[in-house]
């Protein structure tokens, strides 16, 4: 079993190294992406809710656990004389990986890059499992040297006495301990070396790719965020979300690392003139800088999948005007490098809002996790219908002519962001000091703007919170609320009203199909200290 596991480890490590070098999918990830694509909605909702961003590592671990168990069984079979079966199992697993690498979404564009990691894994698996299997020789008929007894040959019955000829299966299998140790150590070294190489050597295309791209100076810069947009209450969300803290939602296990020199965007479909843009072509156009708060449709009431950043990009409307949209089109189908599709209403891209193809986030090239080199950002729409990361294809079309990745999985075709508010302080289930107290949080209603936030203490009246300065109608807005906390348990509830006069609904809805609703509340205790 140890031999089988070590053989599998070596194969996976070699595959991982080749994946890092080629940018192709590690077979474990190819299987994982398929699991993601095929998991039923409720399973995925559960994973997003309960596991958050830990879902990806856990999926990888889960797949590896299955592999390790099968590999251990293969090793066991080898030790019982089933050497061919063991090698066959290794080959079978390798072929499964190869098959998934062919069918799964992947950021690898060339066929060879796409297949090489699985081919390397397959070959290493077969070779290492045969090496392990060769450790277990059927008991040789030659007499043993006396000094081997009980040491290097286990299961030998006596001092070279003739054993009764057993059938092939029952024949005890020789176990060459030294050879076993040498084989296992050698494979272990191969595995460890492969794994370590991806960590310490610059094999994985890294920061150098991002550094190739210089953040351009926008012709139309954003105005400074008003200092009063950030309230000064410990524990409240920062107005500008740092890139490293920005929530991340996508469906890949390995983040695409696109070489900006290779990137190209094709704009086509129901247009008068097709356009192909390199990154330089794109940033040579008019650039705007805007603060926009992104929100995920999977965010539960009070949840963390919302963030605010300063983006630089090219207005989508400019590009649409350039290519000339034909009559009858009502949608844009955008595709990311791995083949994931997103459908956006054409109206949201042409109605004057700041829909952009973004190349910078908070003054930096987009982080790989957030779509380097180019992603779409559309204020007022949930990310799954607008915020295509690693975008490479932009097709003007009609909703009736396609269906996008998430809509195929039960989410609405159109999804404007619902007005929402969240209490950051006090934290739920915390203990605060009785007496004059301060609550604070954020509210958002992108495209409409937040007009009012109100807070209710226990079952009391709605009372107005103090709104922090507004940056834009596309950004979230902070609020504070002072009250006198009497000793005991309390509940605070918050609600926002947008500038269209619409009060945030108290009606509870789950994220699926078009965003959660309901009011956020926190329960806590006030104590005299």
Ligand X SMILES: Nc1nc2c(c(=O)[nH]1)N[C@H]1C(S)=C(S)[C@@H](COP(=O)(O)O)O[C@H]1N2
Name the residues that contact Mo ion, by CB under 5 A. Answer: 249, 296-297, 383-384
Angstrom distance (rounded) from CA 339 to CA 390 = 10
173 vs 95: CA distance, rounded Å: 29
Q: How far is CA 126 from CA 85, 89, 90, in A?
A: 11, 9, 6
State which residue, 296 or 361, has the beta carbon closest to Mo ion.
296
Q: Which does 340 bind (CB under 5 to 8 A by kind): Mo ion, ligand X, none?
A: ligand X
Residue with tokens 């030294």: 178
How many amino acids of this chain bind ligand X (CB under 6 A)? 17
Two tokens at 197? 């190489």
Shortest distance, CB of residue 296 to Mo ion, whole angstroms? 3
C-alpha 107 chain-centroid distance: 13
- Cα–Cα separations (whole angstroms), residue 64 to 13, 70, 77, 335: 11, 10, 20, 30
Q: Within positions 233 to 252, which residues make up the interface with ligand X, using CB under 6 A?
A: 246-251
Q: What are phi and psi of 197, to 5 degrees?
A: -55, -40
**Nearest residue to ligand X, scored by beta-carbon proximity:** 383
75/307 with CB nearer ligand X: 307
- Please report how close the Cβ of residue 56 comes to ligand X at its closest, in angstroms: 12
- Among ligand X, Mo ion, none, the one that 247 touches (CB under a kind-dependent 5 to 8 A) is ligand X
CB 138 within 8 A of CB 82: no
Q: Where are the alpha helices (DSSP H) in 339-472?
A: 346-350
Residue 118 vs 388, nearer CB to Mo ion? 388
Tokens linked to 256 = 């695409």
Question: How far apart are CB 390 and ligand X at their closest, in Å?
Answer: 5
In the complex, minimum distance from the CB of residue 82 to ligand X, in angstroms, rounded to a whole number: 43
Instruction: Please list every residue from 35 through 64 that binds ligand X, using CB under 6 A.
Output: none
Dihedrals phi, psi of 410, to nearest 5 degrees: 90, 5
- Contact criterion met (CB below 8 Å) for 346 and 332: yes
Q: What is the largest CA-CA distance in the chain?
A: 97
Residues 249-278 touching ligand X, rule: CB under 6 A, are 249-251
Question: Distance (Å, rounded) from C-alpha 250 to C-alpha 247?
Answer: 10
Taking the C-alpha atoms of residue 421 and residue 445, their distance in angstroms, rounded to an integer, is: 9
**Could you tell me the smallest distance in angstroms from the CB atom of residue 297 to Mo ion?**
5
**Choice between 48 and 116, CB closer to Mo ion:** 48
Stretch that binds ligand X, among 89-97, 347-355, 381-389, 490-498 (CB under 6 A): 381-389
CB 333 within 8 Å of CB 395: yes
d(CA 402, CA 237): 39
| CB closer to Mo ion out of 417 and 425 | 417
Contact window for ligand X (CB under 6 A) among 71-79, 382-390, 443-451, 500-508 = 382-390
Choose from ligand X, Mo ion, none: what does 137 bind? Cβ within 5-8 Å by kind. Answer: none
Q: Select 336 or 497, whichever has its Cβ closest to ligand X.
A: 336
Of the candidates 329, 387, 425, 465, which one interacts with ligand X according to CB under 6 A? 387
Is 296 one of the binding residues for ligand X (CB under 6 A)?
Answer: yes
- Residues 167-186 close enough to bind ligand X by CB under 6 A: none
Binding site for ligand X (CB under 6 A): 246-251, 294, 296, 336, 340, 370, 383-384, 387-390
């Amino acid at each position: 079993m140890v031999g089988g596991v070590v053989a599998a480890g070596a194969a996976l490590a070699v595959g991982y190294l080749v994946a890092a070098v080629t940018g192709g999918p590690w077979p474990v990830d190819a299987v994982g992406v398929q699991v993601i694509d095929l998991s039923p909605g409720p399973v995925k909702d559960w994973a997003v809710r309960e596991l958050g961003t830990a879902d990806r590592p856990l999926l990888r671990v889960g797949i590896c656990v299955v592999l390790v168990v099968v590999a251990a069984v293969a090793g066991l079979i080898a030790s019982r004389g089933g050497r061919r079966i063991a090698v066959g199992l290794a080959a079978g697993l390798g072929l499964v990986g190869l098959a998934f690498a062919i069918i799964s979404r992947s950021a690898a564009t060339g066929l060879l890059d796409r297949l090489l990691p699985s081919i390397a894994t397959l070959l290493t698996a077969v070779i290492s499992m045969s090496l392990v299997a060769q450790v277990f020789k059927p008991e040789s008929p030659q007499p043993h040297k006396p000094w081997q007894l009980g040491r290097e040959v286990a299961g030998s019955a006596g001092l070279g006495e003739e054993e009764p000829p057993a059938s092939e299966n029952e024949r005890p299998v020789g176990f060459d301990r030294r050879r076993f140790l040498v084989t296992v150590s050698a494979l272990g070294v191969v595995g460890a070396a492969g794994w370590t190489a991806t960590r310490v050597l610059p094999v994985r295309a890294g920061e150098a790719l991002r550094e190739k791209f210089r953040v351009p100076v926008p012709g139309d810069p954003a105005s400074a965020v008003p200092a009063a947009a950030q309230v000064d209450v410990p524990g409240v969300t920062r107005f500008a979300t740092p890139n490293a803290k920005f929530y991340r939602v996508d469906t890949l296990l390995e983040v695409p690392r696109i070489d900006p020199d290779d990137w190209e965007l094709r704009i086509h479909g129901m247009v008068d003139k097709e356009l192909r843009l390199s990154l330089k072509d794109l940033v040579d156009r008019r650039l705007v800088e805007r603060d926009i708060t992104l929100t995920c449709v999977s965010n539960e009431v009070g949840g963390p999948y919302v963030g605010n950043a300063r983006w630089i990009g090219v207005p989508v409307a400019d590009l649409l005007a350039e290519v000339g949209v034909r009559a009858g089109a009502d949608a844009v189908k955008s595709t990311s490098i791995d083949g994931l599709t997103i459908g956006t209403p054409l109206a949201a891209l042409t109605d004057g809002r700041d829909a952009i193809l973004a190349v910078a986030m908070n003054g930096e090239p987009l982080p790989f996790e957030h779509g380097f080199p180019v992603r779409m950002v559309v204020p007022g729409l949930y990310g799954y219908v607008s915020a295509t990361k690693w975008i490479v294809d932009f097709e003007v079309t009609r909703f009736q002519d396609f269906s996008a990745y998430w809509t195929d999985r039960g989410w609405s075709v159109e999804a404007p962001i619902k007005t929402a508010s969240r209490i950051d302080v006090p934290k739920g289930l915390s203990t605060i000091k009785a007496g004059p107290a301060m609550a604070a949080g954020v509210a958002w209603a992108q495209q409409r703007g937040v007009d009012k936030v109100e807070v209710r203490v226990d079952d009391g009246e709605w009372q107005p919170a103090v709104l922090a300065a507004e940056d834009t109608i596309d950004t979230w807005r902070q609020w504070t609320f002072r009250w006198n906390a009497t000793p005991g348990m309390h509940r605070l509830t918050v609600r926002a009203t947008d500038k269209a006069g619409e009060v945030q609904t108290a009606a509870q809805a789950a994220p699926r199909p078009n965003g959660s609703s309901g009011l956020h509340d926190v329960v806590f205790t006030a104590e005299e200290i």
